[in-house]
Homo-oligomer: A and B are copies of this chain.
């Protein structure tokens, strides 16, 4: 497969290990910012690296279309998830490679490849036409995967800089190579860590076992009480504010191809289970969920070690839907977990990050333009869905700037986001660039 200059540029960006969750990558974050600033300047944009309380942002603008033309904000993120477990990667996560019809690298689909379709489209357009059909601003974030509060603060303090009629975000996926998809709602998230401490140091199970609390057992009891047998979250009040779907949305959901077979095919799971009265598509987008992401404590090495460890830990997140609020749910979660702690055991709940759930105004004219652009390139109208994932910026733009976001992705469901061997289809990358160019031409109308 011939590698064009857009792919070559993307590969440069993919080689920078921008793992926002690991502090030793601070220099790589800055390296990626400089790379992006240079990429924007090369195509004729004014660009700046802007500091935040955490990893910096890259802002770029080209505002020469005139006041009668729309102003568009394009968002993406240059940070990626940790690539572990490393041993499960066929090739190194930060050494991108094309195998078959795909590019393999950490962050290629989430979100470097998708965000680059916009830089490429705008760059191609400027090269051909010397002007753009809209006033365009880019905001590229470095903390999407860790969901800090820094972006919210930045947007709050830079409202006029970011003002626009609409935000386009490509950080999601189509259903297949020929069925595009627009997300009109995104779940929020609350991410927390539970810690259990019983004594200052590990003790011998032969001497003290049977007489003291075992923190791993206390943690297991707590985690086992977060959902009931019907897969419902048991935190009191958890479902209090959950929005009911409209009739139209319920019908769309009923026709969603996201069914048991697809889940089993994509994940390799042998069973699909969840809240019984809801379909898989409803569980994935319209319902709040809770998952444990990691548990650690005690001895995990080779062989046998007979200790009762002094502490145990778990990472847990909850995905939220409108009209749940992240603060409210965290408080309920914390109160419930603490209520499960036995006397004489220290349990604490640490808040790691939050993002509010959001629902877009689908009647906004820019959704129509995105629909037309997708149809032109993919041959089919996009479906609309409530996404299961979370893109925290969308809630902030809505709240602070009253701005809707059109979530039009170029990934595929099996891209393996956050997993080993993350990939992006080369043809989806190219269709992405074409769709963005179609959309640019529609913006002028």
Instruction: Tell me the A residues contacting B by CB distance below 8 Å.
Output: 20-23, 81-82, 84-85, 88, 145-147, 187, 189, 191, 198-214, 216-217, 219-221, 223-227, 231, 263, 266-275, 280, 283-284, 287, 289-309, 312-315, 317, 319, 342-345, 352-353, 387-390, 413, 416-421
| Residue pair B82, A301 in contact (C-beta under 8 Å) | yes
Interface hub of A202, A266, A342 (most chain B Cβ within 10 A): A202
Give the distance to chain B from A309, nearest Cβ to Cβ, in Å. 7
Taking the full assembly, how many copies of this chain does it contain? Answer: 2
With A293-B298, A305-B21 already in contact, the answer to whether A418 and B202 are too (CB < 8 A) is yes
Tell me which residues across on chain B come within 8 A of A413, comparing CB atoms: 207
Tell me which residues across on chain B come within 8 A of A21, comparing CB atoms: 301-305
| Residue pair B308, A220 in contact (C-beta under 8 Å) | no
Contact partner, A295, options B199, B201, B298, Cβ 8 Å: B298
Give the distance to chain B from A282, nearest Cβ to Cβ, in Å. 9
The 3 A-B residue pairs with the shortest CB-CB distance, nearest first, are A271-B344, A206-B389, A294-B298
| Residue pair A199, B291 in contact (C-beta under 8 Å) | no
Tell me which residues across on chain B come within 8 A of A206, comparing CB atoms: 187, 189, 319, 387-390
Give the distance to chain B from A152, nearest Cβ to Cβ, in Å. 16
Tell me which residues across on chain B come within 8 A of A274, comparing CB atoms: 210-211
| Residue pair A317, B306 in contact (C-beta under 8 Å) | yes
Tell me which residues across on chain B come within 8 A of A270, comparing CB atoms: 198, 344-345
Tell me which residues across on chain B come within 8 A of A189, comparing CB atoms: 206, 306
Give the distance to chain B from A419, nearest Cβ to Cβ, in Å. 5
Give the distance to chain B from A100, nearest Cβ to Cβ, in Å. 18
Q: What CA separation (Å) do A353 and B315 show in the bound complex?
A: 31
Tell me which residues across on chain B come within 8 A of A290, comparing CB atoms: 209
Q: What CA separation (Å) do A296 and B302 show in the bound complex?
A: 13
| Residue pair A201, B88 in contact (C-beta under 8 Å) | yes
Contact partner, A292, options B214, B302, B317, Cβ 8 Å: B214
Tell me which residues across on chain B come within 8 A of A198, comparing CB atoms: 269-270
For this complex, 19 residue pairs linking A to B, each with C-beta atoms less than 8 Å apart, are A81-B306, A84-B301, A85-B202, A187-B206, A189-B206, A191-B306, A198-B269, A204-B418, A207-B284, A209-B388, A210-B287, A214-B291, A216-B293, A216-B295, A217-B291, A221-B224, A293-B298, A295-B312, A307-B419
